[in-house]
Amino acid sequence: MDCLEFRRELAAQPQHLGVEATRHRAECRACAEAWQRAIGFEQRLHHVMAVPVPEGLADRILLRQTTVTRQGTRVARQGWTRIAAGLVMAIGVAGVGYLGLRSPDSLASASVAHLSHEPFALDRTEPIPAAEVARAFADSGVALKAPLTQVTYLVHCPLNGKRSLHLVVRAEGQAVTAMYVPGEHQGDADFVDQQVVGRHREIGPGTLVLLAGSDQAFDRIEAGFRAAIEGSPVRAGMK
Amino acid sequence: MPAKQAQFDALVRATSGDLYRFAFWLCGQDALAEDLVQETYLRAWRSLDDLRDTQAAKAWLMTILRREHARLYERKAPTSFEAVDDLDLVDDDTPGPDRLGEDALIRRAIAALEPKYREPLLMQVLGGLSCDEIATELKITAQAVMTQCFRARQKLKVALAGQSVEGRSHGLP
């Protein structure tokens, strides 16, 4: 191996030099020095790539995994009980129970759990232009029919395996988290989870989830989303 | 604790940090990165029996995460929401040019790399994978991986030097 070949391999994989390259490094002082510089650069690369890992990440991963596992076990156990009560009835009950009860719980829980992922979302107060909000919805396949205003946070996030829109909307002096999940149809429900008050409503081609410390602004915000997504007469403004 | 759960616990604690960083540099958003990591481990749990070689765990997880990332955006090209253009979390109050340190320069250069250069570089630096291993995961030749990693480093060095090294010494570092 000559110096040029060594340097090419060095630049491609400095941490995994082959036998030939290792031998050349031992014989060529200039290339040994180049290797030292390359290793220094690698350490620097590793340093700059080492962005802070969210505190408690591993615990949250394990909590979610064990929760999902337990839910699966519970659903299976309920299924067997129903089968014992009668096969036909069990199929019907299990089907309705699964679709009608479990799914809303999972969307609500997933939404509440998602709040902790973006703790700074509520700190932002500068309204995002309505055109930008409309673009984000259009990007998710939803054409807004009226402007959605007083949105201070907006990002695409995965929720329940679906690409959703995570917004913070300010209304009546309150910051309310809104998750809009296109393609999700889980009916309407109100819930309280971990001291978070929430509701989800089917609006247009998806489901809107609202989360806050209280539901005082929910009606106004829901009306705003209905106006924006479905085009109902109420103006989609939240003041 | 059942053996499978103990194995998964150990896997999460040993790899979640680097996997989060890999996700962050893929998507450029801290919250999205965490969601991707969460989804990746859920899928990993369901197919944990497929993991035969613990030495290959990180590569296996990176592959799941890449698929998860692709699934999320398979119908859409990344928009400004997903593009790696907001590194506020890394860059401390968005420093101006005078305050921008060399580390920040490198971070921006990494973020600006095309995915075909960034992904193998991340797998190599964060995952500790060899070019052969990366080639297997990316389903391209090892030679192509070497070329991409070579060019990725050259681009970062150019950014760091603040000047073009095109044509200088045939790319010798």
C-alpha B29/C-alpha B34 separation (Å) is 9
Q: Higher pLDDT residue, A94 or B27?
A: B27
Same domain, yes or no: B64 and B103 = no
Nearest to A226 by CA among A126, A100, A142, A110: A142
Question: What is the residue type of A50?
Answer: A
User: Which of chain A's residues have a Cβ under 8 Å away from the Cβ of B32?
Assistant: 155-158
Mean pLDDT of B19-37: 90
Give the tokens for residue B6: 């103990």
Asked whether residue B64 carries a pLDDT value surpassing 60, the answer given is yes
Same domain, yes or no: B95 and B121 = yes
Same domain, yes or no: B25 and B106 = no
Chain A residue closest in CA terms to B37: A61
User: Where is the domain boundary, B58, B80, B102?
Assistant: B80
Confidence of residue B16 (pLDDT cuts 50, 70, 90): very high
Hey, are the CB atoms on A68 and B125 less than 8 Å from each other?
Answer: no
Asked whether residue A118 carries a pLDDT value surpassing 70, the answer given is no
Hey, are the CB atoms on B173 and A16 less than 8 Å from each other?
Answer: no
What pLDDT is attached to residue B168?
43
What pLDDT is attached to residue B1?
61
Confidence of residue A234 (pLDDT cuts 50, 70, 90): low
Chain B residue closest in CA terms to A110: B35
What pLDDT is attached to residue B79?
44
Give the rounded percent of residues in chain A with a pLDDT score beyond 90.
Answer: 21
Same domain, yes or no: B11 and B36 = yes
CA distance A50 to chain B (A): 6
What pLDDT is attached to residue A86?
52
**C-alpha dihedral, B98 to B99 to B100 to B104, nearest 10°:** 170
CA distance A133 to chain B (A): 11
User: Where is the domain boundary, B16, B51, B80?
Assistant: B80
CA distance B85 to chain A (A): 13
CATH of the domain at B31: 1.10.1740.10
What pLDDT is attached to residue A154?
85
User: Where is the domain boundary, B80, B114, B148?
Assistant: B80
Task: Work out the end-to-end distance of chain A between its first and last CA atoms, rounded to an integer number of angstroms.
Answer: 72
Q: Which region holds residue A160: left if phi is over 0, alpha if psi is between -120 and 50, else beta?
A: left
> Which residues 25-64 on chain A approach chain B with CB closer than 8 angstroms?
34, 37-38, 41-42, 44-54, 57-58, 60-62, 64
Same domain, yes or no: B91 and B119 = yes
Q: Higher pLDDT residue, A68 or B39?
A: B39
Chain A residue closest in CA terms to B13: A58
How many structural domains are present in chain B?
2
User: Which of chain A's residues have a Cβ under 8 Å away from the Cβ of B31?
Assistant: 117-118, 155, 157, 166
Q: Higher pLDDT residue, B26 or A114?
A: B26
Confidence of residue A116 (pLDDT cuts 50, 70, 90): low
Same domain, yes or no: B109 and B141 = yes
> Which residues 80-99 on chain A approach chain B with CB closer than 8 angstroms?
none
B131-167 residue pLDDT tens = 888 998 888 999 999 999 999 998 988 887 774 444 3
Asked whether residue B83 carries a pLDDT value surpassing 90, the answer given is no
ipTM of this predicted structure: 0.75
C-alpha A159/C-alpha A119 separation (Å) is 16
Q: Higher pLDDT residue, A101 or A30?
A: A30
Same domain, yes or no: B92 and B11 = no
Mean pLDDT of A87-114: 56
Same domain, yes or no: B100 and B149 = yes
Same domain, yes or no: B62 and B118 = no
Give the tokens for residue B115: 């995915």
A153-178 residue pLDDT tens = 888 888 877 888 989 998 888 889 99
Chain A residue closest in CA terms to B150: A12
Asked whether residue A100 carries a pLDDT value surpassing 70, the answer given is no
Cβ–Cβ under 8 Å, residues A197 and A213: yes
What pLDDT is attached to residue B77?
47
CB neighbours of residue B23 within 10 Å: 27
C-alpha B45/C-alpha B33 separation (Å) is 18
Asked whether residue B37 carries a pLDDT value surpassing 90, the answer given is yes
Average pLDDT, chain B: 78
CATH of domain A121-230: 3.30.200
Same domain, yes or no: B68 and B18 = yes
Same domain, yes or no: B101 and B51 = no
The residue assigned the tokens 């090209």 is B77
User: Which of chain B's residues have a Cβ under 8 Å away from the Cβ of A161?
Assistant: 39
B91-119 residue pLDDT tens = 444 444 443 577 788 888 888 899 889 99
Same domain, yes or no: B127 and B68 = no
Q: Tell me how many residue pairs between chain A and chain B have CB atoms under 8 A apart.
A: 135
CA distance A44 to chain B (A): 8
What pLDDT is attached to residue B165?
42
User: Which of chain A's residues have a Cβ under 8 Å away from the Cβ of B73?
Assistant: 163
Nearest by CB to residue B150, choosing from A12, A52, A156, is A12
Cβ–Cβ under 8 Å, residues A51 and B22: no
Hey, are the CB atoms on A13 and B149 less than 8 Å from each other?
Answer: yes
Asked whether residue A44 carries a pLDDT value surpassing 50, the answer given is yes
CA distance B62 to chain A (A): 16
Hey, are the CB atoms on A163 and B72 less than 8 Å from each other?
Answer: yes
What pLDDT is attached to residue A202?
92
C-alpha A1/C-alpha B154 separation (Å) is 22
Cβ–Cβ under 8 Å, residues B40 and B61: yes
Hey, are the CB atoms on A158 and B76 less than 8 Å from each other?
Answer: no
What pLDDT is attached to residue B141?
92
Confidence of residue A71 (pLDDT cuts 50, 70, 90): low
Asked whether residue B82 carries a pLDDT value surpassing 60, the answer given is no
CA distances from B27 to A47, B115, B119 (A): 19, 10, 11
C-alpha A116/C-alpha A118 separation (Å) is 5
Q: Which region holds residue B162: left if phi is over 0, alpha if psi is between -120 and 50, else beta?
A: left
Hey, are the CB atoms on B173 and A4 less than 8 Å from each other?
Answer: no
C-alpha B84/C-alpha B30 separation (Å) is 11
Hey, are the CB atoms on A8 and B171 less than 8 Å from each other?
Answer: yes
What pLDDT is attached to residue A226?
92
CATH of the domain at B114: 1.10.10.10
User: Which of chain A's residues have a Cβ under 8 Å away from the Cβ of B24?
Assistant: 51
Q: Higher pLDDT residue, A101 or B4?
A: B4
Asked whether residue A65 carries a pLDDT value surpassing 70, the answer given is yes
Q: What stretch(es) of chain A map to CATH 3.30.200?
A: 121-230
For chain B, state the CA radius of gyration.
18
Mean pLDDT of A96-114: 61
Give the tokens for residue A14: 């400095």
Which domain covers residue B93, as residue numbers? 87-173
Hey, are the CB atoms on B45 and A10 less than 8 Å from each other?
Answer: no
Hey, are the CB atoms on B12 and A62 less than 8 Å from each other?
Answer: yes
Give the tokens for residue B74: 């398979």
What pLDDT is attached to residue A228?
93
Asked whether residue B80 carries a pLDDT value surpassing 60, the answer given is no
